[in-house]
């Protein structure tokens, strides 16, 4: 939500970028962007450009953070200093990035089979190269693919997407300007296999009916996002098998 003169965000039923209320921005996912990582991905989600990279499992350090029963996850979400017009200063952690790192970590604590790697750590990096609203959801979607590519066992491959409200209209997948001037927004992450909600945050006010409608949009969009995630992984395996055929 933001201040200033509020622009009209929906004109004749369409949003400023031409989308319908329940329409996602275009999404493209690529696997294997960072060679050094155990698993990695790159996502373009509207004007968001985000890299996710996974390292580990490896011995958790320092030793006192180790859990003898299961692996721990370390997650670092950051926005590159050049990622938006807003002032990011030095690209160290700040309050917002610390929060997003925490909620992202909690999403994956629910699906990674941590008990398989006692004493280990798994590192998840989410680096926003260009940000345009909804980066935590897009980052979770990308990190999910990077984790799957790393071969770390998971019970499911979550996706993230947000919805919100402009005036009395519930809309899916807010971009930056919509996010700035919306009356509410609610980022969500879901485990598609079980339907469990793994992330739910809210800024602003929504009625129970708005949440019902928004969740319906999210789950419908989720089917498509899940398909894109799987296709990206499949393509990367096809590329590898092509290489070994030659
Ligand atoms: O990105 P997301 O919607 O998950 O998080 P937000 O805190 O609601 O931020 C919305 C958008 O504002 C981001 O996606 C960025 O484009 C922008 N933003 C920024 O550029 N710098 C910040 N320090 C905070 C937000």
pLDDT digit string, tens, across residues 3-62: 567 889 999 999 999 999 999 999 999 999 999 999 999 999 999 999 999 999 999 999
Model confidence at 165: pLDDT above 70 = yes
Percent of the chain with pLDDT over 70: 96
CA-angle at 112, arms to 24 and 231, nearest 5°: 40
Residue 5 maps to a domain: no
Atom of ligand 1 minimally distant from the CA of 85: 20
pLDDT at 156 (0 to 100): 98
pLDDT at 245 (0 to 100): 80
Instruction: Count CB-CB contacts under 10 A for residue 204.
Output: 12
pLDDT at 3 (0 to 100): 53
Residue 1 maps to a domain: no
Residue 86: CB within 6 Å of ligand 1? yes
Specify the pairing of strand 72-79 against strand 120-130. parallel
| pLDDT band at residue 139 using 50, 70 and 90 as cut-offs | very high
Q: Ligand 1: which of 179, 180, 185, 204 to mutate, most ligand atoms within 8 Å of CB?
A: 179
Summarize pLDDT for 78-96 with one digit per residue, the tens. Answer: 999 999 887 666 667 899 9
Q: Ligand 1: which of 135, 138, 185, 189 to mutate, most ligand atoms within 8 Å of CB?
A: 135
| pLDDT band at residue 228 using 50, 70 and 90 as cut-offs | very high
Residue 2 maps to a domain: no
**Helix 135-150 and helix 95-109, axial crossing angle in degrees, nearest 10:** 40
* Residue having the nearest C-alpha atom to atom 12 of ligand 1: 133
Q: CATH number for the domain including 238?
A: 3.30.230.70
| Positive or negative torsion for Cα 100, 103, 105, 107 | negative
**What is the count of structural domains for the chain?**
1
Beta bridge partners of 77: 126
Residue 4 maps to a domain: no
* Cβ atoms 23, 29 nearer than 8 A: no
Average pLDDT score over the chain: 95
Instruction: Please report, for residues 113, 139, 150, 153, 193, the alpha-carbon distance to residue 69 in angstroms, rounded to integers and kept in the order given.
Output: 11, 28, 22, 16, 26
Residue 114 maps to a domain: yes
Residue 87: CB within 6 Å of ligand 1? no
Q: Which domain holds residue 209?
A: 10-245
Question: What's the rounded mean pLDDT across residues 162-171?
Answer: 96
Cα(180)–Cα(184) distance, rounded to whole angstroms? Answer: 10
Residue 217 maps to a domain: yes
- Of the candidates 100, 219, 105, 106, the one whose C-alpha atom is nearest the C-alpha of residue 159 is 219
Residue 42 maps to a domain: yes
Residue 135: CB within 6 Å of ligand 1? yes
| Positive or negative torsion for Cα 28, 126, 61, 191 | negative
Residue 3 maps to a domain: no
């Amino acid at each position: 939500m933001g201040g200033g003169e509020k622009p009209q965000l929906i004109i004749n039923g369409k949003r400023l970028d031409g989308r319908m209320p329940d329409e996602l921005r275009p999404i493209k996912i690529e696997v294997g962007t960072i060679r050094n990582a155990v698993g990695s991905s790159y996502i373009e989600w509207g004007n968001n450009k985000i890299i996710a990279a996974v390292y580990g499992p490896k011995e958790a350090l320092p030793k006192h953070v180790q859990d003898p029963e299961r692996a721990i996850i370390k997650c670092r979400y950051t926005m590159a200093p050049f990622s938006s017009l807003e002032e990011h200063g030095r690209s160290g952690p700040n309050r917002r990035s610390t929060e997003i790192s925490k909620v992202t970590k909690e999403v994956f604590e629910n699906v990674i089979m941590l008990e398989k790697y006692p004493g280990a750590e798994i590192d998840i990096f989410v680096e926003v190269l260009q940000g345009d609203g909804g980066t935590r959801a897009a980052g979770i979607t990308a990190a999910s693919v990077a984790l799957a590519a790393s071969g770390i066992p998971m019970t499911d491959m979550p996706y993230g997407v947000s919805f919100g409200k402009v005036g009395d209209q519930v809309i899916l997948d807010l971009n930056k300007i919509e996010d700035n001037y919306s009356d509410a927004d609610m980022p969500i992450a879901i485990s598609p296999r079980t339907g469990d909600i793994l992330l739910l945050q809210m800024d602003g006010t929504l009625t129970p009916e708005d949440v019902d409608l928004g969740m319906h949009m999210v789950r419908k969009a989720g089917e498509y996002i899940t398909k894109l995630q799987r296709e990206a992984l499949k393509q990367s395996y096809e590329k590898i098998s092509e290489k070994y055929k030659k």
